[in-house]
């Protein structure tokens, strides 16, 4: 069994010991747990989140449970809940694309959007992830009209790599 502030690891993967909470700008990152599912689903189905998603359809409870179970068991996924005190600020998630590149996904709790925490929120998730994976690049796909996400990425050392009318690609270099 893992401590509450440590991420469980799939049984078949050898990794460094789990890392405890990381504080950044009064925000802390902890690993997502199965019991976080209901509020994560509510955030994902928020009107603004659906509008900025590449798949605009609402997510069912069953679909979300299956997805959450899958990502928590996958060694190529890391998911962090960002907290300010006991308040849930949002989700920052990483999906492995190659051995040297991971894609970042993020969604803020609708109650905290527009309050000036976006960059720090994203930084808390990235810092936690980079403690475990310091030598990888991060990429992000964002809709061209998603101004808030573009600002969060630009404020966290992401560079614009390419764009078309449907997507904008951002990327970091390994530290």
Helix (H) or strand (E) holding 107: strand 101-108
Please indicate, yes or no, if residue 17 is contained in any of the structural domains: no
Please indicate, yes or no, if residue 8 is contained in any of the structural domains: no
Please indicate, yes or no, if residue 14 is contained in any of the structural domains: no
Max CA distance (Å), the chain: 47
For the stretch 35-81, pLDDT in tens is: 998 888 888 877 776 566 656 677 788 888 898 999 999 999 999 99
Query: What's the predicted TM-score (pTM) here?
Result: 0.81
- pLDDT for 45 equals 78
Domain range for 82 is: 22-171
Please indicate, yes or no, if residue 165 is contained in any of the structural domains: yes
- pLDDT for 49 equals 63
Please indicate, yes or no, if residue 26 is contained in any of the structural domains: yes
Helix (H) or strand (E) holding 147: helix 147-154
What residues contact residue 110 under an 8 Å CB cut-off, 6+ apart?
Answer: 43, 46, 48, 49
Query: Could you tell me which residue, 165 or 50, shows the higher pLDDT?
Result: 165
Q: For residue 138, which phi and psi values (nearest 5 degrees)?
A: -115, 140
Number of domain units in the chain: 1
């Amino acid at each position: 069994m893992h401590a509450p502030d440590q991420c469980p690891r799939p049984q078949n993967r050898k990794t460094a010991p789990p890392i405890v909470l990381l504080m950044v700008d009064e925000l802390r990152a902890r690993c997502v747990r199965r019991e976080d599912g209901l509020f994560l689903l509510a955030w994902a189905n928020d009107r603004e989140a659906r509008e900025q998603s590449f798949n605009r359809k609402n997510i069912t409870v069953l679909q979300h449970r299956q997805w959450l179970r899958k990502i928590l068991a996958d060694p190529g996924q890391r998911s962090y809940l960002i907290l300010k005190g006991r308040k849930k600020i949002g989700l920052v998630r990483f999906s492995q694309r190659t051995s040297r590149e991971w894609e970042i996904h993020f969604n803020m709790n609708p109650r905290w959007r527009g309050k000036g925490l976006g960059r720090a929120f994203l930084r808390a998730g990235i810092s936690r992830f980079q403690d475990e994976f310091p030598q990888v690049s991060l990429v992000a796909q964002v809709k061209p009209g998603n101004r808030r996400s573009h600002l969060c990425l630009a404020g966290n050392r992401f560079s614009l790599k390419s764009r078309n009318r449907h997507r904008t690609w951002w990327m970091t270099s390994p530290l």
